[in-house]
Amino acid sequence: MKKTTQNRTNQMNFTIMMYFIVIVSFTIKMNAQTVTPWITSADQTKLLQQQATVSFGANSGSNSSTVTVNAGTTYQTMDGFGYTLTEGSCEVISGMAATQQNQLLNDLYNPVTGLNASVVRISIAASDLSSSSYSYNETSGDVNMNNFSLNGPDLTYLIPIIKKIQIINPNIKILATPWSAPRWMKTNNSWVGGSLQTQYYAAYARYFVKYFAAMQAQGISIWGITPQNEPENPNNEPSMLMNSTEQKNFINTQLGPQMAAAGYGNIKIIAFDHNCDNTAYPIDVLNNSSYVDGAAFHLYLGNISAMSTVRNATNKNVYFTEQYTGSGGSFGGDFGWHMQNVVIGSTNNWAKTVLEWNAANNSGLGPRTPGGCNTCLGAITVNNSTSYTKNVAYYIIGQISKFVKPGALRINSSSTNGTILSSAFKNPDGSIALVIYNSGSSNTIKIVSGSSAFNYTVPASSAVTFNWSAGSSSTLPGYYNIISRNSNKGLDVADNSTTSGGRIQQYDITNGGGNNQRWKFVPDGSGNYYIIVKSTGLYLATENNSTADGIKVQQRTFASSNEFKWTVESLGGGYYKIINVNSGKSLDVENVSTANGANIQVWSYTGGLNQQWQLVQVEASAAKKVAVEEVTGSQDFSLYINPTNEYLKINTPNSGSGQVEVYNASGQSVLKRTIDFISGNEAEIEISKLPKGLYVVKVSDSERSYSKKVLKQ
């Protein structure tokens, strides 16, 4: 008999222990930060492809390939990423059918659905990837710029495309750069080579000021300029030489003062704009001109560390403004070199921008001037009026621009493996983006942030960008019922289905409902959410990628497409509209039904009550940490349940006012009382209304806190 009783006691203890382990496991999962990886691989099997989410857990074990992120150490603020939008780029884009043209521009510049390219570099008059060489004033000797005009290729092609980009991204930054002054201002009266004559310094500065005003009249504000593209390269068409003495004299005597006098002193003047093999030039200009904000760099020669050299010697900003990919290169080779040197290399050397060369050209690598680049491959090739191809530069910039927002701070990251390069950023919304390139073979690396970590396998010669929210929980922590304002019924996986494609309906919810009625909101790092049902871990999504009204909503296995993403916008009064990112349509109850079983679909938002949703939290992840605290206390502390009257009995070694809080198995606070403790006497709280189960009780007296698990039978 005694043995049987002991066995039962052991069994009960084992049950309690196992129940507690389940809670611990569940709690860790709930509190873990969710991370979204995006991969581009050298073999092109993954092209900026979103992967299934992973979660931070406890940092345990060792890994020779460990990347550690430290958000407490910050560096430069990022202005953005993008391409040079040449006049030739605009010419080929302008020739596209309206639908495909709009899609191409959204692919590049849309902050939500596209690459979020946020800086556009343009040429002041012709670049070598223009259809001809031209300036804005071909009237020789017109030093007052009476004949200045944007009429011609820029007004025909460039400016209309910029205006369309501004609609897609109103916050776009425009960086403008001349390839040459008008020929009549130059020592050789040629588009190629030559220098700016000293007698025309004032006229050329006036040319810039006229340009700012003319662009402003078109609704285009210039964010920054460089006085000359590649001032040490006399061989391009157009091109112009300008040494450091000439550049600082031009800026200090004419360009800077004229810009300030005309009200354009807020436009950044960024010096140099050439290769990393020469640090003396930018240091000279930056240290000897109060008008200059910083220096810009390319990497056709030299080492990217030159940017740090200049920044440290001048305490001024540095920008990376150009690198091209060639038509004869390989995807994997070009992608890897640019990720290592341009994307990660320049940002780790203080670059505030990262820009690749031309945004788009045609299949013949044009348009271009007679002496222009004949091997430069655009980020996009426009094949014809209805077709375009995304090339390697699209993915080089996309791997960072999609996740690192303007205004982000670079933060510290370090790698223990030389083949794993990294750069990390904290966005204005607090989310973290970590860009990694694996230059070696396939490798399972460990990512560490604070006391948490996760392991992830990065394919050979591939980049992965990890996104996660900065806090321990999302903006919408825990699980929610999603309740229709019209019917007061909640989102429900029909028939408690466990299969991908299971129908979503509305149904009555009682006491928080079943797990097929509980939904978790996980940020995607771009201001949107994945909505995941607790019962299966499947994702709320439209049944296909259609943008039509009436498309049904299902639970689906994760895929890297926008039909899985939702924006949640407050309507006030505790109600929200929930919009599908792919279609822009609202979550909607079919036929404005109030019946159980009515289908959930997406429909153009009209403000109807069947499109307004209340989010009722039924599991709060923020409290769950209490459920995994180790049981602590002292010999003078005791806590137990009196089974005869269902009172919680508490004895603490200290007197005075205190607090008792009881948490259930899900980590929710189910009971909270303020109580007076008297040393040596038991305090008691009635818990008769609590259901049977395991609880964690946290007791705080006048001196300290205690916690202990108890089982109510």
SS3 of 32, please?
A: coil
SS3 of 358, please?
A: strand
Q: How confident is the model at residue 526 (pLDDT cuts 50, 70, 90)?
A: low
Percent of the chain with pLDDT over 70: 89
Percent of the chain with pLDDT over 90: 71
662-693 pLDDT tens trace = 877 656 677 777 777 776 677 888 887 677 76
Q: Is the peptide bond before 238 cis (omega within 30 degrees of 0)?
A: yes
Q: For residue 642, what is the enclosing H or E element?
A: strand 638-642
Q: How confident is the model at residue 659 (pLDDT cuts 50, 70, 90)?
A: confident
Q: What pLDDT sits at residue 5?
A: 38
Task: Describe the chain by its helix, strand, coil percentages, rounded to 5.
Answer: 25, 35, 40
Q: For residue 424, what is the enclosing H or E element?
A: strand 420-426
Q: Which domains does the chain have, with CATH numbers?
A: 34-76+411-468 (2.60.40.1180), 80-403 (3.20.20.80), 479-621 (2.80.10.50), 629-712 (2.60.40.3080)
551-607 pLDDT tens trace = 999 999 988 688 999 988 877 666 789 999 999 999 999 999 999 999 999 999 998
Token couple for 631: 């049981």
SS3 of 473, please?
A: coil
Cα–Cα dist 139/317, whole Å: 37
Q: What angle do CA 319, 322, 325 make, to 5 degrees?
A: 145
Q: How confident is the model at residue 704 (pLDDT cuts 50, 70, 90)?
A: confident
Distance (Å) of CA 498 to CA 51, 493, 652: 21, 9, 48
Average pLDDT over residues 532-549: 93
Residue 322 is a catalytic residue: yes
The answer to whether residues 154 and 147 touch, using CB atoms and an 8 Å cutoff, is no
Q: What pLDDT sits at residue 658?
A: 79
| Torsion sign across C-alpha atoms 679, 681, 687, 693 | positive
Q: What pLDDT sits at residue 470?
A: 60
Q: How confident is the model at residue 471 (pLDDT cuts 50, 70, 90)?
A: very low
Q: How confident is the model at residue 33 (pLDDT cuts 50, 70, 90)?
A: confident
Q: What pLDDT sits at residue 31?
A: 38
Q: What pLDDT sits at residue 572?
A: 63
Given 87, 91, 230, 619, the catalytic residue: 230
Beta-sheet strands, E only, within 78-187: 80-84, 119-124, 173-178
Q: Using the CB atoms, write b or e for 407-446: b if 16+ within 10 Å.
A: ebbbbebeeebeebbbbbbbbeeebbbbbbbbbeeebebb
Q: What pLDDT sits at residue 294?
A: 98
Q: For residue 659, what is the enclosing H or E element?
A: strand 656-663
Look at residue 519 and tell me whether its pLDDT is greater than 80.
yes
DSSP-assigned letters across all residues of 550-618: T-BEEEE---SSGGG-EEEEEEETTEEEEEETTT-PEEEEGGG--STTPBEEEE-----GGG-EEEEEE
Look at residue 16 and tell me whether its pLDDT is greater than 50.
no
429-454 pLDDT tens trace = 788 999 999 999 999 999 999 888 99
Cα–Cα dist 528/563, whole Å: 11
Look at residue 612 and tell me whether its pLDDT is greater than 80.
yes
Q: How are beta strands 292-302 and 268-276 bridged, if at all?
A: parallel
Look at residue 457 and tell me whether its pLDDT is greater than 70.
yes
Look at residue 647 and tell me whether its pLDDT is greater than 90.
no
Look at residue 631 and tell me whether its pLDDT is greater than 50.
no
The answer to whether residues 101 and 107 touch, using CB atoms and an 8 Å cutoff, is no
Given 87, 91, 322, 563, the catalytic residue: 322
Q: How confident is the model at residue 476 (pLDDT cuts 50, 70, 90)?
A: low
Cα–Cα dist 91/131, whole Å: 8
Look at residue 392 and tell me whether its pLDDT is greater than 70.
yes
250-308 pLDDT tens trace = 999 999 999 999 999 999 999 999 999 999 999 999 999 999 999 999 999 999 999 99
Q: What pLDDT sits at residue 642?
A: 77
Phi, then psi, of 18 in degrees rounded to 5: -65, -40
The answer to whether residues 179 and 128 touch, using CB atoms and an 8 Å cutoff, is yes
Look at residue 212 and tell me whether its pLDDT is greater than 70.
yes
DSSP-assigned letters across all residues of 600-619: EEEE-----GGG-EEEEEEE
Look at residue 217 and tell me whether its pLDDT is greater than 90.
yes
76-113 pLDDT tens trace = 999 999 999 999 999 999 999 999 999 999 999 998 88
Beta-sheet strands, E only, within 85-135: 119-124
Q: What pLDDT sits at residue 3?
A: 34
Average pLDDT over residues 615-639: 54
Q: Using the CB atoms, write b or e for 695-705: b if 16+ within 10 Å.
A: bbbbbbbeeee
Look at residue 41 and tell me whether its pLDDT is greater than 70.
yes
Average pLDDT over residues 68-82: 95
352-366 pLDDT tens trace = 999 999 999 999 999
